[in-house]
A and B are shown apart, each in its own frame.
Chain A
Amino acid sequence: MTGIGEAVRAYLPGLALLAGGAVAATLVADAVPGLQPLVVAVGIGVGLGNTVGIPEIAEPGVSADKLFLETGIVLLGAAVAVEEFLAAGPTVLGLVVAVVAGGLLFAEVVARGLFRIGSPTSSLLAAGASICGVSAVVAIGRVLDARGTAITFAAATILLFDAATLVAFPLAGEWLGLTGRQFGVWAGVSMFSTGPVAAAGFAYSPEAGQWATVTKLARNSLLGGVAVAYSLAYAARSAADPGVRRLWAEFPKFLLGFLAVAAVANSGLLSPAALASIGRVSDALFALAFVGLGLSIRVDDMRAVGAAPVGAVLVHLLAVSAVALAAVRWLL
């Protein structure tokens, strides 16, 4: 037994753990009216991760959660009505670019000026809060040659806000009476990491989930450009690493898959039954991913985060989400 057999054996316990959590989430959500299975999946993951923890044997399989999330997003392309998204596209894209650019500058000013956080930690926090959470922290950290401790510190801060906003945004959306599209775009431009954005969107409504994911994908696609901008600003990169290569290296490739599936689905090649089946596979992958997302949220790690980064990111989040809220209410 080598190769595929060994790999399957290594991944099986973790996959079984994710699948068990996803099945349990579906059963609980079916039994309790009003509960969203994806939210229950995150809750089960948080509960398990912070009580019994992840057994060592299950770690490889559990680490596949982000692959399931990204594959689920690729398949979500089959559920989007391209005409509707194209109609709102320029508005949403303009909002995304404005919020990312403005948010980055604002976060840098707040972190350095108000909370006296030095660089590159200020830039790691700004990138994490403005683009795509922990993956942006890691990508920009790599570009700026940041120390491992600075990256860990910034990533833990972002994770803390991922957990808090995952609960707070759907509640705020209900309270504010936002439509599914308004909430999805609002969460997509304001929240941090892709998993919690999608989870919060689907917790609100299926329509909100689609808009949140598409908006977040547009935001993620700016990571390469931001990485190039940071590397030029810090002048910390070698000449052998050209900007175009960096742009492509940081581009989320699964976004191409999402676009391809959306094109195939909207061309009429797939029957309604096939589209429904792909939707079910996407839902199942999201459920697996959200159990894994919950397992990755560790309360103990978040206690170790310092007050200054929490303050800086909180000021950024409040300001950006307030501006974004006004914009989505006005424009959508």
Chain B
Amino acid sequence: MASNRDDGIASDGPATGAGLVDRWTALDRGWQALALGLGIVAAHLVGQAL
């Protein structure tokens, strides 16, 4: 991970990705299901508005 930081801006993508994965896996499964479910409903709301 240290070498990624040394790479500067180009390495932010993977580092951010790893952070996102860590945050997601640290979430309670109930919150994960809630987020996924609401995300799917939100996508349908956006889809019908377009």
Interface residues of A (CB under 8 A from B): 1-7, 66-67, 70-71, 73-75, 77-78, 251-258, 260-261, 264, 269-271, 273-274, 277-278, 281
Contact = CB atoms under 8 A, between A and B. Distances in A.
Nearest to A5: B17
B44 A257 contact: no
Contacts of B37: 71, 74-75, 77, 254, 257-258, 261
Contacts of B19: 3
A278 B40 contact: yes
Contacts of B32: 67, 70-71
B48 A67 contact: no
Interface of B: 4, 14-21, 25, 28-38, 40-41, 44-45, 47-48
Nearest to B41: A261
A254 B17 contact: no
Dominant secondary structure of chain A at its interface with chain B: helix
B48 A273 contact: yes
8 contacts: A2-B4, A4-B21, A74-B33, A253-B31, A253-B34, A261-B41, A274-B47, A278-B40
A256 B34 contact: yes
Given A2-B14, A4-B17, A67-B36, A75 B41 contact: yes
Contacts of A5: 14, 17
Contact of B17 (A3, A260, A269, A277): A3
B26 to A, nearest CB: 13
Nearest to A260: B38
A19 B40 CA distance: 19
Given A7-B21, A77-B37, A274-B44, 15 more contacts: A2-B17, A5-B14, A7-B25, A71-B32, A74-B34, A74-B36, A74-B37, A254-B34, A254-B37, A257-B37, A264-B41, A274-B45, A274-B47, A277-B44, A281-B40
A-B pairs, top 6 by smallest CB distance, nearest first, are A74-B37, A3-B17, A253-B30, A70-B33, A257-B34, A3-B18
A215 B30 CA distance: 18
Contacts of A278: 40-41, 44
Contacts of A66: 29
